[in-house]
């Protein structure tokens, strides 16, 4: 593809949905992507009203994603969407991705990739069959440049051989029963999957640990809990974990810690140093040494590697955050589609994420026994 503006379709994200607006803001931030069509809701009125409010052609505000795939595939190549963004609850991710790939469209999906590991394995086969198409997964927090800086330092041996990882994702918004759209589907096994808190945010912690260290998580010993009466899925959990090359760690996730907002953080320790990053202060990376004072690395500074600095849009001291990180995910995906040989698959991370969730649940049901993660 030439360096043109890519045409995006969207499934989900209708009026009343939180994440749809986030995706749309992020996709258009750099002027590389435009939204041209969508099937935004199971409610036909909501879907059409959302599309019209966004200024879309009424004929491309579809009633469902099946109609959208058929109609878009029938359009001339220079008019149809290039890829579809999937921003629905978990149980719809797989059928939409399958339909899009089989209709010839690239896919960028919210995480987790599917409702369960069985679906993820089936999706992996579909992605492999359609090997000219890209499949990406929006693990948002990998879009923060200082996370990439941490990964770069580890990869270059900057903290020596990695020994220990502490990663946690702590929220408080489900500390009591809630009756709203976001809480409803996230606590429903038929739409969320076999895990609540760990499936929703624990997977981000898992993904972050693997990304920064460059190591694959292999085993977990987990303890999942339900603290709110009547809830059907875990709202809190902790796990010891093992990674490749003898790395060991602790992962915690909770949605019942009163007063916490979106506290994702990671600490990585090696033989000669350590790194610490917090999502709520994303433009700072703390680096420690055995024999030198602690360093505070800051965003957009000239001492950062070029590939890290490329993720920033403003000068030092101008805060960049969640939307910009999300936009970097979209920018990377757009670059992959437009670079010859640059189409990449996010299926490896998708499979590991689903296998991680299943291993957690299995371990917790088996008195926290060590359990292998088996993608």
Cβ atoms of residues 170 and 257 within 8 Å: yes
Cα separation, 98 vs 94, whole angstroms:
6
The per-residue pLDDT for range 299-310, each reduced to its tens digit, is 999 999 999 999
User: Quick count: other Cβ atoms within 10 Å of Cβ 292?
Assistant: 10
Cβ atoms of residues 7 and 81 within 8 Å: yes
The per-residue pLDDT for range 31-73, each reduced to its tens digit, is 999 999 999 999 999 999 999 999 999 999 999 999 999 999 9
Cα separation, 253 vs 223, whole angstroms:
11
How many H helices and E strands in the chain? 13, 14
Cα separation, 337 vs 322, whole angstroms:
23
**pLDDT band, very low/low/confident/very high, at 341 (cuts 50, 70, 90):** low
Nearest to 371 by CA among 27, 296, 362, 348: 362
Query: Any idea what DSSP says for residue 320?
Result: -
Q: Is the pLDDT of residue 361 over 80?
A: yes
**pLDDT band, very low/low/confident/very high, at 1 (cuts 50, 70, 90):** very low
State the pLDDT at residue 303. 95
Q: Is the pLDDT of residue 2 over 60?
A: no
The per-residue pLDDT for range 201-249, each reduced to its tens digit, is 999 999 999 999 999 999 999 999 999 999 999 999 999 999 999 999 9
Q: Which domains does the chain have, with CATH numbers?
A: 6-138 (3.40.50.720), 145-318+353-365 (3.30.360.10)
pTM for this model (two decimals): 0.95
Nearest to 12 by CA among 182, 230, 254: 182
Cα separation, 361 vs 202, whole angstroms:
12
Q: CA 251, 141, 244 angle in degrees (round to 5)?
A: 45
Q: What distance, in Å, lies between the first and last C-alpha atoms of the chain? A: 33
Give SS3 for 221.
Answer: strand
Cα separation, 28 vs 42, whole angstroms:
25
Query: Any idea what DSSP says for residue 61?
Result: B
Structure tokens, 65: 């994603």
C-alpha distances (whole Å) from 121 to each of 125, 351, 352, 360 are 7, 7, 10, 18
Contacts of 255 (CB under 8 A, 6+ apart): 171, 172, 173, 174, 175, 196, 197, 200, 201, 235, 236
Cα separation, 265 vs 280, whole angstroms:
8
The per-residue pLDDT for range 95-129, each reduced to its tens digit, is 999 999 999 999 999 999 999 999 999 999 999 99
Residue whose entry in the numeric block shows the structure tokens 């009547």: 230
Answer whether the bond into residue 112 is a cis peptide, omega within 30°.
yes
Considering the chain, what is the average pLDDT of its residues?
96
SS3 per-residue string spanning 144-176: CHHHHHHHHHHHCCCCCCEEEEEEEEECCCCCC
């Amino acid at each position: 593809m030439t360096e043109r503006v890519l045409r995006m379709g969207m499934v989900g994200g209708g009026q009343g949905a939180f994440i749809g607006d986030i995706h749309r803001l992020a996709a258009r931030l750099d002027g590389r992507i435009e939204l041209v069509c969508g099937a935004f809701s199971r409610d036909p009125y909501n879907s059409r009203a959302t599309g019209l409010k966004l200024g879309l052609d009424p004929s491309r505000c579809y009633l469902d994603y099946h109609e959208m795939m058929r109609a878009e595939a029938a359009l001339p190549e220079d008019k149809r969407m290039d890829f579809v963004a999937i921003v629905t609850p978990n149980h719809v991710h797989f059928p939409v991705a399958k339909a899009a790939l089989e209709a010839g469209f690239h896919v960028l999906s919210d995480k987790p990739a599917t409702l369960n590991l069985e679906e993820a394995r089936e999706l992996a086969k579909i992605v492999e069959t359609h090997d000219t198409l890209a499949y990406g997964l929006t693990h948002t927090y990998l879009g923060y440049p200082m996370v990439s800086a941490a990964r770069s330092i580890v990869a270059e041996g900057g903290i020596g051989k990695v020994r220990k990882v502490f990663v946690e994702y702590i929220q408080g918004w489900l500390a009591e029963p809630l009756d709203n759209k976001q809480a409803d589907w996230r606590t429903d096994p038929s739409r969320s999957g076999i895990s609540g808190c760990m499936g929703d945010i624990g997977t981000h912690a898992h993904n972050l640990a693997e990304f920064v260290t460059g190591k694959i998580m292999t085993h977990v010993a987990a303890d999942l809990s339900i603290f709110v009466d009547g809830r059907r899925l875990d709202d809190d959990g902790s796990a010891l974990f093992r990674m490749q090359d003898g790395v060991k760690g602790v992962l915690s996730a909770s949605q019942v810690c009163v007063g916490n907002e979106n506290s994702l953080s990671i600490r990585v320790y090696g033989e000669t140093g350590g790194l610490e990053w917090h999502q709520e202060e994303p433009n700072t990376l703390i680096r420690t040494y055995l024999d030198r004072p602690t360093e505070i690395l800051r965003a957009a500074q000239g001492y950062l590697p070029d590939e890290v600095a490329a993720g920033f849009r403003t000068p030092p001291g101008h805060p960049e955050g969640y939307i910009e990180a999300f936009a970097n995910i979209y920018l990377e995906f757009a670059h992959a589609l437009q670079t010859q040989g640059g189409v990449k698959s996010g299926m490896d991370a998708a499979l590991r994420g689903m296998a991680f969730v299943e291993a957690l649940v299995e371990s917790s049901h088996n008195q926290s026994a060590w359990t292998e993660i088996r993608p």
